[in-house]
């Protein structure tokens, strides 16, 4: 019902009433209720899963409307700029979300673990409460929380899969840029190939990451519950992996749109938005590689 | 205007009401308008700092509010004031009213920083006591002295505070500010508290000592105080961090004694606790003195409520 | 080309707006969405207010009369959360929705569907939050600050709390993105940045703050969630974490959050005072820079909420000094408002009355804030009623009064009707008097040693608590005048002209009252813009 026959769109464009926002809120609410009921052992995942499926469908439809309006040429340059700015600030908010978890990592490494080990102002903390704790990183804390049965654990060798994954993501950053060049030059076939390479690399990354998690759980005693190291490791890499997955799915959608002949060398906001998102995911990974795996 | 008249009448009524209020006695709540000065050097320094900033704010307030009130009276449209629409900018005054606050703030920061540095100096202490907050009470452990015990809200308050207990709180001595076993300390000695929490965060606060420090599970915070030489009596405080259902019901009482009294108390209590803990003792085992354990009756029966030296009297 | 153009024109006349419930539920119009935000805010204010009245009722005299302590703590927690996230923030977003497009010469917000999404998330978020009263274990009772480990003891309400915070955060972030994009991209040609009204400026900066800190809050509560359900140890010492770490992350959000609740208020006051002084704002550019510096400083003062947690000395000194610095730009604002009145031609309609009360009472709250910033003194004030007095002065007589002032200021524009001035004046005097009866004695209580968040107290605190409770009942009841006045104004009232107030300037006053469905279908001319931005 979102009518497109709006105003003289060379001046401005305002979509008239739309059902998507309210449906989006209702499904989002369903997802949240489902998560509550799952965590509280009320109804298991029986609300969450359908809710999540609905939410996914809904965003598919909502974006479908937008894409459709766009293809019909209703959007003027002002709308295009609005979308661009919106996407940039959305990415900034994501950066700040990761900042919270990086903050937790730095706090633990620079302050709380040394304090527990008796450094700085908290000598008595170590002396009275945790007399045998030597501060070191990685650690599962003075209480040796989690890990194997003897509460030991191993950490990922940064030169193994992580280094490979770094290479993969960096390459994918390159391929997406190549795709952008091809798009701007109006060359469809290279565009499709570079783009396909990008999301394939993305999914490969996720595959390796999943493998790494399997290893960590099965053989290394490294779990989400392995003290502060496990907490920061899995929350940071996990949220990053989630973002890579979302990004790769978005790239796939963009690729499908390319195959349908969407986008022109001049106007291709959606492509660029996803490319920015991809670069953001890339940069976060570099932070992770350095501070989580390497140092 | 009727509104103005009605307001005037309301104000009169309020003033009349105020006159009929109970006299402002020492014990009356009406007189409690300010921070107490406390019984340590630090607490008095904090009080002085507090008063200093207070007066600075009052003076700034008088000037700024004065200017506002003046504008409201002098430039009323109803009195024919005509706006001077050219008055939109004046770099000179703007610089002045940026710089003056800077100077005031520096003048406030210096004594504050000095006091803070003094407070943070936890060296050269004479007695170390580990304080553990738990849901809901305090545990005191005189490190290396063999004395440990728990401190809870006293029975009378505890009974009266139940929902619908029917007890009038005003009939309970020191309602909610009394414990079964106060923390006993000597005066004139720098006492170091090593504060931690057992379950959630609590905060050990006795305002007359000028000490408030959070009790954080898994960590130890340090604080210290040194009660004036010669001062004895009881000081009262509270847990100052929301810690669950009974957060309002975990007061702190500090029993300040002369050094000699304190030493005797410490020696006796240590002996009693050792005896109570020894396998042959007939008294109920457990390291803490409490009212039901005869061996520990001595410290416990010094019921704080009967002590007369309250802070109000001292301050 | 006459045909499509004629169509567009006819189209605008009929406004093509859906009617009935669809108009609201499927809304994409900034005014309709703004109205919904304001209605939600008012509802939440009343719910949060009723919680506050229950608190004041229990505290009327010592002894527990009505509530179990646990339920009392839930009331405190929910009062704080509902007032902050449900009453104040949505009210400002609602005002931004109504006014920003009109003030910058735009037809609507930049991203209208997203706008509706941001709104509709909120009622569900509050359903989740308030619904937590009815699950086993009761509503969250750990305070609005949600400190672990205590908050981890919450029962079935725990995930409801976390997810409702996530939803509120999402709503705020999307709303803020919309405001930024509208301001940066939808301004009429000729509306340069330094011609924008201060309300727009302050909201632009607020929106940046929102985008920077709401995700951090989301991260913090996510860590709570995983600590509770999935065995992480962010906030447990045994695993190498620290309960205090949560406080750092929370207040990194929390302090900018309090400025999120006051910067738009500064903007509103900067609109109202010039209007009723019939004189342009004094020191326009300094006002813009002041808002920007306050926003910047707000990121480096957070630990002043945590002076008692046992931070190293250097950190305490740093946070004390940075906090004190905020008094300087805030002072610039207060002085500029005073200078705006100086040599003006003042009249005292309800918006001006509330703005003047803001000037005095917010400053009082600011002074007590400054006292709180002195670390040694804060050791005595922290977690007492003195803190309550401080922030209710800045929040109730600051943020809330500015919202009431804004409604009184723009109501004639929104409805096309003048309201009952006398009733508004009554509302003002009753509010201004009772709010001081309510909160001023809390300074005394705090200094005398009454801790915050307690359901029952020692008997020497009785007298001032009674006074405070009487003030609370009086203040609460006085607020009933407000919706009554608004409804009366919508139903009837003398027609208000385009420029409802003699001294009003700015683009919104160039539009008819009530404004057309799409505010500025053709951008205002440069002359019109210049007329509004005469500073
Ligand atoms: C709108 C909300 C708002 C605003 C604007 C402020 C403004 C300020 N706040 Fe406040 N604050 C809160 C909301 C707010 N606060 C809340 C909600 C809490 C408690 C949270 C909780 O624990 O639940 C809190 C708590 C709080 C604390 C922690 C107290 C504690 O728990 O121990 C501190 C400590 O520094 C503080 C300081 C300040 C300062 C220095 C300002 C300054 O910005 C004030 C600046 C203004 C002025 C100073 C007045 C005008 C200036 C002049 C007239 C110029 C001349 C003046 C001088 C040179 C002195 N606040
Ligand atoms: C913007 C935020 C905001 C606002 C507007 C208010 C408004 C009020 N607050 Fe506020 N308050 C907070 C934010 C706010 N508060 C926060 C953040 C906390 C800390 C929470 C924590 O510690 O975690 C707090 C805590 C707090 C406490 C301490 C609780 C405790 O220690 O346990 C008290 C107690 O007096 C209090 C009182 C009030 C009152 C009486 C009002 C009044 O202004 C409310 C007036 C409004 C109404 C009453 C509603 C409208 C009227 C009706 C519906 C008619 C019916 C009325 C009657 C029956 C009288 N508040
Ligand atoms: Cu212990 Cu509050
Ligand atoms: Cu703050």
**Domain map (residue ranges) of chain B:** 34-119, 127-277
B19 pLDDT band, cuts 50/70/90, is: very low
C107 Cβ inside 6 Å of ligand 2: no
pLDDT of B55 higher than 50 = yes
Q: Does C327 touch chain B (CB under 8 A)?
A: yes
Q: Is the dihedral of CA C199, C200, C205, C209 positive or negative?
A: positive
Ligand 2 centroid from CA C51, angstroms: 7
> Is C259 noted as a catalytic residue in this protein?
yes
- Asked, as a colleague might, if the bond just before A138 is cis with ω within 30 of 0, I would say yes
Q: Mention every residue, 6+ apart, whose C-beta is less than 8 A from residue A49.
A: A34
Is the confidence at residue B228, as pLDDT, over 80?
A: yes
Of the ligands numbered here, which is closest to the C-alpha atom of C333? 1
Q: What is the per-residue pLDDT across C262-297, written as a single tens digit (0 to 9) for each?
A: 999 999 999 999 999 999 999 999 999 999 999 999
pLDDT in tens, C489-516: 999 888 888 898 988 888 999 998 899 8
- In this predicted model, what pLDDT tens digit does every residue of C10-47 receive, in sequence order? 344 445 667 788 888 898 899 999 999 999 999 999 99
User: Which tens digit of pLDDT belongs to each residue from A144-200?
Assistant: 998 888 888 998 888 989 999 999 999 999 999 999 999 999 999 999 999 999 999
Edge-to-edge strand list for the sheet holding B191-197? B147-151, B137-142, B127-134, B191-197, B221-225
Confidence of residue B165 (pLDDT cuts 50, 70, 90): confident
Q: Please answer yes or no on whether B220 and A122 come within 8 Å at the CB atom.
A: yes
User: For the structural domain made of B34-119, what CATH number should be given?
Assistant: 1.10.287.90
Q: Are strands B211-215 and B202-206 parallel, antiparallel or unpaired?
A: antiparallel
Mean of the pLDDT values across residues C448-459?
Answer: 94
- What is the pLDDT averaged over residues C476-496? 93
State the helix-helix crossing angle for C401-415 and C30-58, rounded to 10 degrees.
140
User: Does the annotation count C79 as an active-site position?
Assistant: yes
Question: What pLDDT was estimated at residue A108?
Answer: 95
Q: What is the mean pLDDT of chain C?
A: 92
**Ligand nearest the Cα atom of residue C390:** 1
**Do the domains B127-277 and B34-119 match in fold?**
no
- A89 interfaces chain C, CB cutoff of 8 Å: yes
Task: Give the whole-angstrom CA distance, residue C205 versus residue C330.
Answer: 15
Q: Does the pLDDT of residue A88 top 70, yes or no? A: yes
Strand order in the sheet with B202-206: B183-186, B252-257, B233-239, B202-206, B211-215
Q: Looking at residue B24, what is its pLDDT?
A: 44
Nearest alpha-carbon partner for A165 in A206, A216, A224, A222: A206
| Mean pLDDT (chain A, rounded) | 90
| Nearest-atom index, ligand 3, CA of B136 | 1
| CA–CA distance, B271 with B289 (Å, rounded to integer) | 11
Residues 6+ apart with CB under 8 A from B244: B135, B136, B200, C70, C73, C141, C150, C153
The CATH label, of 2.30.110.10, 1.10.599.10, 3.40.47.10, 2.60.40.420, for the domain at B127-277 is 2.60.40.420
pLDDT at A11 (0 to 100)? 63
Residue C2 has pLDDT above 50, yes or no: no
Contact partners, residue B59, CB within 8 Å, separation at least 6: none
| Integer Rg of chain C from CA | 23
pLDDT at A95 over 80: yes
| Other beta carbons within 10 Å of B96 | 12
> What is the predicted pLDDT for the residue at B8?
53
Catalytic pick among C98, C259, C337, C464: C259
- Is C171 a residue of the active site? yes
Among the partner-chain residues B46, B175, B245, the one whose CB lies closest to the CB of C69 is B245
The mean pLDDT of C60-81, rounded to a whole number, is 94
Q: How far apart are CA B144 and CA A210, in angstroms?
A: 53
Distance from the Cα of A121 to chain B's closest Cα (Å) equals 9
Contact, B139 vs B148, CB < 8 A? Answer: yes
* Residue B172 Cβ contacting ligand 3 at under 6 Å: no
Phi, psi dihedral angles at C29 (to 5 degrees): -90, 135
Average pLDDT over residues A90-110: 96
Q: Are B173 and B236 in contact (CB under 8 A)?
A: no
Check if the beta carbon of residue C291 is closer than 8 Å to that of residue C201. yes
Please, which pLDDT band fits residue C211 given cuts at 50, 70 and 90?
very high
Point out which residues pair with B255 in neighbouring strands.
Answer: B184, B234
For residue B235 the two structure tokens come to: 């000081």
What is the per-residue burial (b if ≥16 Cβ within 10 Å, else e) of B247-283? bbbbbbbbbbbeeeebeebbeebeebbeebeeeeeeb
CA-based nearest residue to B182, from B314, B300, B287: B300
Cβ atoms within 10 Å, residue B164? 9
Assign B123 a pLDDT band (cuts: 50, 70, 90).
Answer: confident
* Across A126-135, A225-234, B176-185, least confident range: A126-135
Q: Say how many C-beta atoms besides its own lie within 10 A of residue A41's C-beta.
A: 8
Distance to chain B for A117, nearest Cα, Å: 11
Collect all residues with Cβ–Cβ distance below 8 Å to B294 and sequence separation of at least 6: B283
Does C20 lie at the interface with A, CB-CB under 8 angstroms?
no
Helices and strands counted in chain A (H then E): 9, 0
Closest CA to A36 of C417, C225, B131: C225
User: Residue C173: is its pLDDT beyond 80?
Assistant: yes
Who contacts C143 (Cβ-Cβ below 8 Å, separation ≥6)? B242, C73, C76, C77, C80, C150, C453
CA torsion angle for B266, B272, B276, B282 (degrees, to 10)? -170
What phi, psi does B189 have (nearest 5°)?
-120, 140
In ligand 3, the atom with minimum distance to the C-alpha of C451 is: 2
Distance C403 CA to ligand 1 centre (A): 19
* Tokens standing for residue C109: 């917000």
The 10s digit of each residue's pLDDT in A29-53 is 999 999 999 999 888 888 899 999 9
Q: From the CB of C451, is ligand 2 less than 6 Å away?
A: no
Atom of ligand 1 lying closest to residue C84 CA: 17
Q: Is the ipTM of this complex over 0.90?
A: yes
Q: What would the mean pLDDT of B111-126 be, rounded to a whole number?
A: 90
Strands (E) in C406-524, as ranges, are none
Phi (first) and psi of residue A196, to 5 degrees: -60, -40
Write the pLDDT tens digit of every residue in B276-306: 887 654 444 344 433 333 333 333 333 333 3
Q: Is C63 on the interface with B (CB under 8 A)?
A: yes
**How far is the alpha carbon of B218 from chain A, nearest alpha carbon, in Å?**
7
Annotated catalytic residue within C32, C53, C108, C508: C108
Quote the pLDDT of residue B278. Answer: 73
C68 contact B CB<8A? yes
Ligand 3 center–CA A285 separation, angstroms: 42
Question: Per the CB < 8 Å rule, is B112 touching C375?
Answer: yes
Question: What burial letters (b/e) apply to C39-70, b meaning 16+ CB within 10 Å?
Answer: ebbbbbbbbbbebbbbbbbbbbbbbbeebebb
In this structure, the number of other CB atoms found within 10 A of the CB of residue C501 comes to 21
Q: What is the pLDDT of residues A121-151, one digit of tens each?
A: 888 898 899 988 888 889 999 999 988 888 8
Helix then strand then coil, % of chain C, to nearest 5: 75, 0, 25
| Ligand 2 touching residue C396 (CB < 6 A) | yes
Q: To the nearest whole number, what is the mean pLDDT of chain B? A: 82
What is the Å distance from ligand 1's center to A41 Cα?
42
Looking only at Cα atoms, what is the longest distance across chain A?
A: 75
pLDDT digits (tens, 9 = 90+) for C428-443: 999 999 999 999 999 9
CB contact under 8 A, A125 and B130: no
pLDDT at C305: 96
Residues C104 and C200 sit within 8 Å (Cβ to Cβ): yes
How does pLDDT run across C318-375, given as a tens digit for each residue? 999 999 999 999 999 999 999 999 999 999 999 999 999 999 999 999 999 999 999 9
Q: Please name which of A61, A26, A73, A25 lies closest in space to residue C115, comparing C-alpha atoms.
A: A25
* Contact between C217 and C171 (Cβ < 8 Å): no
For residue C478, the 8-state DSSP code is H
Is-catalytic flag, C304?
yes
Whether the CB-CB separation of A228 and A112 falls below 8 Å is answered with yes
Matching residue, tokens 């309510």: C438
For residue A78, the model assigns a pLDDT of: 85
Summarize the confidence of residues B148-162 as an average pLDDT: 92
Give the pLDDT score at B213.
96
C322, C391, C402, best to mutate for ligand 1 pocket (most atoms within 8 Å of CB)? C391
Distance between CA atoms of residues B97 and B190, nearest Å: 45
- As a three-state string, the secondary structure of chain B is CHHHHHHHHHHHHHHHHHHCCCCCCCCCHHHCCCCCCCCEHHHHHHHHHHHHHHHHHHHHHHHHHHHHHHHHHHCEHHHCCCCCCCCCCCHHHHHHHHHHHHHHHHHHHHHHHHHHHHHCCCCCCCEEEEEEEECCEEEEEECCCCEEEEECECHHHHHHCCCCCCCCHHHCCCCCCCECCCEEEECCCCEEEEEEECCCCEEEEEHHHCEEEEECECCCEEEEECECCCCCEEEEEEECCCCCCCHHHCCEEEEEECHHHHHHHHHHHHHHHHHHHCCCCCCCCCCCCCCCCHHHHHHHHCCHHHCCCCHHHHC
Q: What is the largest CA-CA distance in chain B?
A: 96
């Amino acid at each position: 019902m979102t009518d497109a026959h709006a105003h003289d769109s060379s001046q401005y464009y305002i979509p008239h009433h739309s059902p998507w926002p309210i449906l989006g809120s209702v499904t989002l609410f369903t997802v949240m209720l489902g998560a509550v009921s799952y965590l509280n052992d009320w109804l298991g995942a029986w609300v969450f899963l359908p809710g999540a499926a609905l939410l996914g469908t809904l965003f598919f439809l909502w974006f479908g409307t937008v894409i459709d309006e766009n293809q019909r040429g209703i959007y003027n340059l002002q709308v295009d700029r609005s979308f661009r700015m919106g996407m940039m600030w959305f990415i900034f908010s994501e950066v700040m979300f990761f900042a919270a978890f990086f903050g937790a990592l730095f706090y633990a490494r620079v302050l709380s673990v040394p304090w527990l080990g008796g450094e700085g102002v908290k000598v008595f903390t170590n002396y009275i409460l945790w007399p045998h704790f030597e501060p070191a990183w990685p650690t599962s804390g003075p209480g040796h929380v989690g890990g194997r049965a003897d509460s030991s654990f191993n950490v990922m060798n940064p030169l193994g899969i992580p280094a490979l994954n770094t290479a993969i993501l960096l390459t994918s950053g390159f391929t997406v840029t190549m795709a952008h060049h091809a798009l701007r030059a109006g060359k469809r076939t290279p565009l499709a190939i570079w783009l396909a390479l990008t999301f394939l690399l993305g999914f490969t990354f996720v595959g390796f990451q999943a493998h790494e998690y399997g290893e960590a759980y099965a053989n290394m005693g490294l779990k989400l519950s392995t003290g502060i190291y496990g907490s920061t490791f899995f929350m940071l890499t996990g949220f990053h992996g989630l973002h890579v997955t979302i990004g790769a799915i978005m790239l796939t959608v963009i690729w499908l749109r390319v195959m349908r002949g969407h986008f022109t060398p001049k106007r291709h906001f959606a492509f660029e938005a996803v490319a920015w998102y991809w670069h953001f995911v890339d940069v976060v990974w570099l932070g992770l590689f350095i501070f989580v795996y390497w140092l | 205007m009727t509104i103005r008249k009605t307001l005037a009448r309301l104000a009169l009524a309020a003033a009349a009401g105020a006159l009929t209020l109970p006299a402002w006695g020492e014990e009356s709540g009406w007189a409690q308008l300010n921070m107490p000065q406390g019984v340590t050097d630090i607490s008095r320094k904090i009080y002085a700092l507090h008063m200093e900033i207070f007066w600075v704010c009052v003076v700034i307030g008088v000037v700024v509010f004065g200017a506002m009130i003046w504008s409201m009276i002098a430039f009323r449209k109803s009195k024919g004031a005509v706006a001077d629409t050219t008055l939109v900018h004046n770099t000179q005054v703007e610089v002045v009213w940026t710089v003056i606050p800077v100077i005031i703030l520096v003048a406030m920061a210096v004594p504050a920083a000095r006091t803070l540095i003094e407070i943070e100096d936890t060296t050269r202490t004479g007695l170390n006591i580990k304080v553990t907050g738990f849901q809901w009470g305090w545990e005191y452990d005189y490190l290396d002295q063999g004395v440990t015990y728990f401190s809870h809200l006293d029975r009378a308050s505890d009974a009266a505070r139940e929902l619908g207990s029917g007890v009038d709180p005003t009939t309970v001595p020191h309602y909610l500010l009394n414990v079964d076993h106060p923390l006993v300390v000597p005066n004139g000695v720098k006492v170091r508290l090593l504060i931690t929490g057992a379950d959630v965060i609590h905060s050990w606060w006795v305002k007359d000592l000028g000490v408030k420090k959070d009790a954080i599970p898994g960590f130890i915070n340090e604080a210290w105080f040194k009660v004036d030489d010669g001062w004895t009596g009881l000081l009262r405080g509270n847990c100052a961090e929301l810690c669950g259902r009974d957060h309002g019901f975990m007061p702190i009482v500090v029993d300040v004694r002369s050094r000699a009294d304190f030493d005797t108390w410490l020696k006796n209590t240590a002996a009693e606790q050792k005896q109570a803990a020894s396998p042959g003792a007939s008294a109920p085992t457990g390291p803490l003195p409490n009212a039901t354990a005869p061996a520990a009756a001595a410290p416990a029966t010094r019921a704080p409520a009967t002590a007369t030296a309250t802070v109000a009297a001292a301050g | 080309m006459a045909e499509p153009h004629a169509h567009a024109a006819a189209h605008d006349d009929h406004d093509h707006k859906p009617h009935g419930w669809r108009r609201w539920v499927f809304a994409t119009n900034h005014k309709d969405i703004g109205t919904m935000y304001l209605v939600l805010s008012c509802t939440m204010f009343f719910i949060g207010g009723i919680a506050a009245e229950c608190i004041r009722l229990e505290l009327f005299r010592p002894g527990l009369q009505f509530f179990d302590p646990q339920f009392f703590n839930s009331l405190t927690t929910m009062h704080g959360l509902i007032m902050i996230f449900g009453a104040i923030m949505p009210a400002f977003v609602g005002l931004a929705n109504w006014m920003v497009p009109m003030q910058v010469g735009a037809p609507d917000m930049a991203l209208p569907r997203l706008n509706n999404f941001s709104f509709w998330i909120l009622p569900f978020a509050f359903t989740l939050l308030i619904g937590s009263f009815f699950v086993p274990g009761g509503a969250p009772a750990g305070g609005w600050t949600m400190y672990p480990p205590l908050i981890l003891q919450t029962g079935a309400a725990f995930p409801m709390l976390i997810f409702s915070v996530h939803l509120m955060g999402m709503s705020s972030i999307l709303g803020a993105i919309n405001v930024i994009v509208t301001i940066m991209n939808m301004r009429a040609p000729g509306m340069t940045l330094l011609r924008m009204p201060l309300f727009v400026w302050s909201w632009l900066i607020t929106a940046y703050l929102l985008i920077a800190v709401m995700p951090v809050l989301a991260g913090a509560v996510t860590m709570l969630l995983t600590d509770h359900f999935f065995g992480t140890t962010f906030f447990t010492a045994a695993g190498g974490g620290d309960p205090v770490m949560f406080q750092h992350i929370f207040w990194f959000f929390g302090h900018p959050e309090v400025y999120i609740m006051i910067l738009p208020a500064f903007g509103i006051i900067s609109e109202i005072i010039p209007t009723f002084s019939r004189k342009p704002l004094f020191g326009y550019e300094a006002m813009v820079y002041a808002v920007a510096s306050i926003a910047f400083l707000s990121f480096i003062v957070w630990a002043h909420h945590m002076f008692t947690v046992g931070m190293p000395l250097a950190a305490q000194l740093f946070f004390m000094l940075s906090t004190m610095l905020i008094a300087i730009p805030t002072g610039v604002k207060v002085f500029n408002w005073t200078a705006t009145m100086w040599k003006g031609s003042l009249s005292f309609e309800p918006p001006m009355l509330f703005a003047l009360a803001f000037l005095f009472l917010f400053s009082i709250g600011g002074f007590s804030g400054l006292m709180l910033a002195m670390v040694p003194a804060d050791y005595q004030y922290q977690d007492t009623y003195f803190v309550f007095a401080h922030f209710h002065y800045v929040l109730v007589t600051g943020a809330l009064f500015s919202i009431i002032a804004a409604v009184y200021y723009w109501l004639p524009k929104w409805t096309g009707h003048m309201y009952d001035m006398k009733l508004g004046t009554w509302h003002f005097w009753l509010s201004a008097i009772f709010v001081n009866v309510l909160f001023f004695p809390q300074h005394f209580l705090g200094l005398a040693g009454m801790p915050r968040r307690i359901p029952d107290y020692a008997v020497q605190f009785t007298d001032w608590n009674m006074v405070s409770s009487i003030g609370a009942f009086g203040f609460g009841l006085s607020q009933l005048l407000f919706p009554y006045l608004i409804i009366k104004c919508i139903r009837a009232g003398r027609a208000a002209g385009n420029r409802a107030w003699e001294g009003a300037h700015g683009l919104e006053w160039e539009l008819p009252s009530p404004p057309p469905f799409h505010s500025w279908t053709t951008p205002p001319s440069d002359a019109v813009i210049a007329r509004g931005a005469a500073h």
